[in-house]
Amino acid sequence: MISYNEQERIFKLDTANTTYMIGIVDEENFVGHIYYGKKLKEADAAYLMRIDEPPFVPSLNNRERCSFYDCFPFEYPTAGVGDYREGCIGIRTAAGHVGCMLTYVSHEIMEGKPALSGLPATFGDAKECMTLKLVCEDHYVGLRVELLYTVFHEIDAITRSVKVTNIGADHIYLTKVYSACIDMDNRNFDMISLHGSWARERHIQRKAIGYGIQNVSSFRGESSHQDHPFLALVDKNTTQEHGEIYAMNFVYSGNFRAQAEVTQFDSVRMTMGIHPENFCWKLSSKESFQAPEVVMVYTDQGFDAMTTTFHKLYKNHLIRGEYKNKKRPILINNWEATYFEFDTEKLLSIAKEASKLGIEMLVMDDGWFGKRNSDNCALGDWKVNEEKIKGGLKYLVDEVNKLGMKFGIWFEPEMISPDSDLYREHPDWAIAIPGRPGTQARQQLVLDLSRQEVVDCIYEQVASVLRSANIEYVKWDMNRQLTDIGSSGLPADRQGEVYHRYMLAVYQMQERLTQEFPYLLLENCSGGGARFDPGMLYYSPQIWCSDDTDAIERLEIQEGTALIYPLSTMGAHVSDCPNHALKRVTPFETRGIVALAGTFGYELDVTRIPQEDREMIPSQVELYHKYNDLVREGDYYRLASYSQNRQFDCWQVVSEDKTQALVTFVQVLNRVNFKSRRILLKGLDENKQYQVEFVNENSIKTKIYHADTLMNGGLLIPYPQGDFQARLIFLTEVN
Ligand code: DGJ
């Protein structure tokens, strides 16, 4: 619900449990942030902007205008005329000046939500959401900025984006454009971010914020392993179940910055948007720039509530396509099974064995094209290597299909190897600074996707492979970050557009792919989980979570990922031991149980693993079929965190109608002479009783308990024997 109080000049944006309020003040129409938080009955809380205190508004005290600019809680702050905190927008006029101040011009309130041209974004119809468009201008520089706010009422989320238009006669350079800002009082907040590295993605980090600027960011050309386009400011006392959270998540897969600036007056400016590093977009007269979307979530009910909101929003209003609400085929991927050493015969031997065990799809990973026998060549040459794939791709796919399995394939479309036919033919197609040798990573360079002819050529190569056989899944990989930013297709004053044009092209290619092959299951991937973000989720319902498939390392990675993203999106596989990344040995059963929390599949040579592991696969497959609807669609709750307690991990999913629940418990290191663990369950219907079944613990009989006992008294999980032990506990309502 969005309303405008014309007399007081206040916009009130309400969701089921939150209110967001914006006010227009003074004769000059400054746009200020009044409030974001728990739902308010009050329609006029303008006093919260403190304009009745010194330095007052400019019409009353123009001699101290600068002080007003430097403390007013701007809804979309600018720079260069007196607000010394970091602004959301940076411009440079044709004459070289940077000052800017945006004031209110008009607004529109509409039902539903407009799409953002060329960008991934959440969507919803008139019944689900409502949008406010606030139009602001700076007529000195000829700039119009449209601030878009969409309220997802039931879901309790608000999304924001920004469109900038040059309404002047001369060109303007846009040097910064963030997508969201909340200017509020600091309440001694902690900040939550997701930090990582290759094979250690999205570990939850919590720390106090202090005066000055603290931020998380990426200017690696992708959302990255290292930092994540997510930031939450939370009360010191916020826990899983209680406390305030202001969270922002960026629906974008490229460079970003998320920041909290605590000021001299103890206010905090929380911002998120495209990283300004090497960003400079030339806007000729009448041209516009659409900045990506930020999702904002507020709750006073702790992390569980925040997570539920993000999960609901993404499941219903971001993820699209055939597999949105569908169980995904259990796949077996040959990467960790064979690396580059495979041929038709080897793949078919894996498929034959896998099909007998109930696995439903074979995915052929890196190494099937050009002269690609190692990771040092051939990216860009998307032609089947028939020396390896003897009989051709169609033959292989048909043979796999005959086994009753689907077939999937790997691509890395954004890359070019210096040792490739493509590079030999088009050396100028790599992103590069003329005259400077490009910095290689994994011996590859990045294609200059800011050039449409490059996009078209690569898209056609990929699509013609997909058209040549019955391919039902694509893993879209990206194995290096961007450096040496330069495009031979753009003039000097547009080189600062390359990063964003690159992202727009990736989105364009994935949109084309999903339009032409609507039945395709697309899984994004980036050297593991470096591009696991809402932008990519708009195109692919699942993303490879990490190259680290060790069941214990995965606990932290999956916990951090599930803090925002639904379990249905987390690519998770059972792999062989010793684990290839870590050399740790964990029980096959535990590897299976941890992978069941995600999309579930295998990444091993099923013809060579120990017989007792192989024999366990049919029962894991059965568990997947039995529980995946619940895992995919249910509400997720964190019951205990290994990342915090360093002993054990525990999470739960509960079906929407609360008739079923699944608890997963993982004991990491065993402790001698210890008692069972008491775990308090969540989300059950407290008036009901549930039958509790220890799925993989034969000696324990099923028992019936009242939900309130399970949630307040808890469930005792018998002390597992040995390290790295996992338990699955299934609950069904009995009355
Ligand atoms: C990185 C991915 O994360 C792996 O799963 C695998 O596909 C390799 N790339 C292949 O090069």
3-state secondary structure 191-239: EEEEECCCCCCCEEEEEECCCEEEEEEECCCCCCCCCCCEEEEECCCCC
Q: pLDDT tens digit string along 598-612?
A: 999 999 999 999 999
Ligand 1 atom having least distance to the Cα of 410: 7
Cα–Cα distance for residue pair 19/1, rounded to 1 Å: 10
Residue 403 per-residue DSSP state = T
Lowest mean pLDDT among 126-140, 259-273, 348-362, 688-702: 688-702
**CA dihedral sign, ordered 382, 384, 385, 389:** positive
Nearest atom in ligand 1 to 547's CA: 3
Is residue 287 within 8 Å of residue 162, measured between CB atoms? no
Residue 718 has pLDDT above 90, yes or no: no
Q: Which residues form the pocket of ligand 1, taking CB atoms under 6 Å from any ligand atom?
A: 335, 365-366, 375, 410, 477, 479, 525, 527-528, 544, 547
Atom 11 of ligand 1 has which residue's CA nearest to it?
366
Q: What is the Cα 211 distance to its own chain's centre? A: 29
Tell me what the mean pLDDT of segment 385-409 comes to.
98
Q: What angle do CA 39, 40, 44 make, to 5 degrees?
A: 145
Give kind and range of the element (H or E) at residue 316.
Answer: helix 302-317
Beta strand 635-640 pairing with 648-654: antiparallel
End-to-end CA distance of the chain: 38
Q: What is the DSSP string of 548-617?
A: ---TTHHHHHHHHHHTTS-GGGEE-EEE-SS-TTT-----HHHHHHHHTTTT-EEES-TTTS-HHHHHHH
**Shortest-distance Cα residue to atom 2 of ligand 1:** 527
Tell me how far the alpha carbon of residue 525 lies from the centroid of ligand 1, in angstroms: 8
Taking CA 7 as the corner, what is the angle to CA 2 and CA 10, rounded to the nearest 5 degrees?
35
Rounded to the nearest 10°, the torsion over CA 342, 348, 354, 359 is 100
Mean pLDDT, the chain, whole residue set: 97
507: three-class secondary structure by DSSP: helix
Number of Cβ within a 10 Å radius of residue 571: 28
Task: Identify whether 547 is a catalytic site residue.
Answer: yes
| CA 52/CA 56 separation, integer angstroms | 6
The pLDDT score that the predictor gives to residue 42 is 84
Q: Which residue has the tokens 């001698």?
A: 672
- Rounded distance, CA 165 to CA 167, Å? 6
Q: How many other β-carbons are positioned within 10 Å of the β-carbon of residue 612? A: 8
Residue 637 burial class via C-beta count within 10 angstroms: exposed 0-12, middle 13-18, buried 19 and up: buried
Residue carrying structure tokens 């395709």: 520
From 340, 547, 580, mutation site for ligand 1 pocket: most ligand atoms within 8 A of C-beta:
547
Catalytic residue among 448, 477, 635, 649: 477
User: Is 365 noted as a catalytic residue in this protein?
Assistant: no
Cβ-based neighbours of 96, under 8 Å, separated by 6 or more: none
Host H or E run for residue 36 = strand 30-38
Determine the 3-state secondary structure of 524 from DSSP. strand
Inter-axis angle of helices 588-595 and 611-633, nearest 10: 20
Quote the pLDDT of residue 721.
Answer: 84
Q: pLDDT digit string (tens) for 447-504?
A: 999 999 999 999 999 999 999 999 999 999 999 999 999 999 999 999 999 999 999 9
Distance in angstroms (rounded) separating the CA atoms of residues 93 and 172: 5
Residue 699 pLDDT: 61
What's the CA-to-centroid distance between 269 and ligand 1, angstroms? 39
Residue pair 405/362 in contact (Cβ under 8 Å)? The answer is yes
Expressed in angstroms and rounded, the spacing between residue 225 Cα and the centre of ligand 1 is: 14
Note the pLDDT of residue 696.
Answer: 86
The yes-or-no verdict on residue 263 having pLDDT over 70 is: yes
Ligand 1: distance of its center to the CA of 247 in Å?
Answer: 31
What is the tens place of the pLDDT at every residue in 195-246? 999 999 999 999 999 999 999 999 999 999 999 999 999 999 999 999 999 9
The mean pLDDT of 653-664, rounded to a whole number, is: 98
Q: Which two tokens stand for residue 642?
A: 């290994």
Q: For residues 282 and 106, is the Cβ–Cβ distance under 8 A?
A: no
Mean pLDDT over 155-177 rounds to 98
Task: Please name the residue whose Cα sits nearest to atom 10 of ligand 1.
Answer: 366
Distance between CA 142 and CA 286 in Å, rounded?
10
Q: How far apart are CA 229 and CA 252, in angstroms?
A: 8
Q: CA–CA distance from 413 to each of 280, 479, 543 (Å)? A: 26, 10, 16
State the amino acid at position 681 in one-letter form: L
What 3-state DSSP class applies to 68?
A: helix
Q: Phi and psi (nearest 5°) for 730? A: -110, 130
- Catalytic site residue from 227, 365, 448, 547: 547
- Rounded Cα–Cα distance for residues 281 and 609 (Å): 54
Task: Give the predicted TM-score (pTM) of the model.
Answer: 0.98
Q: pLDDT tens for residues 105-147? A: 999 999 999 999 999 999 999 999 999 999 999 999 999 999 9
**How many beta carbons lie within 10 A of that of residue 680, not counting itself?**
14
Structure tokens at 260: 């909290």
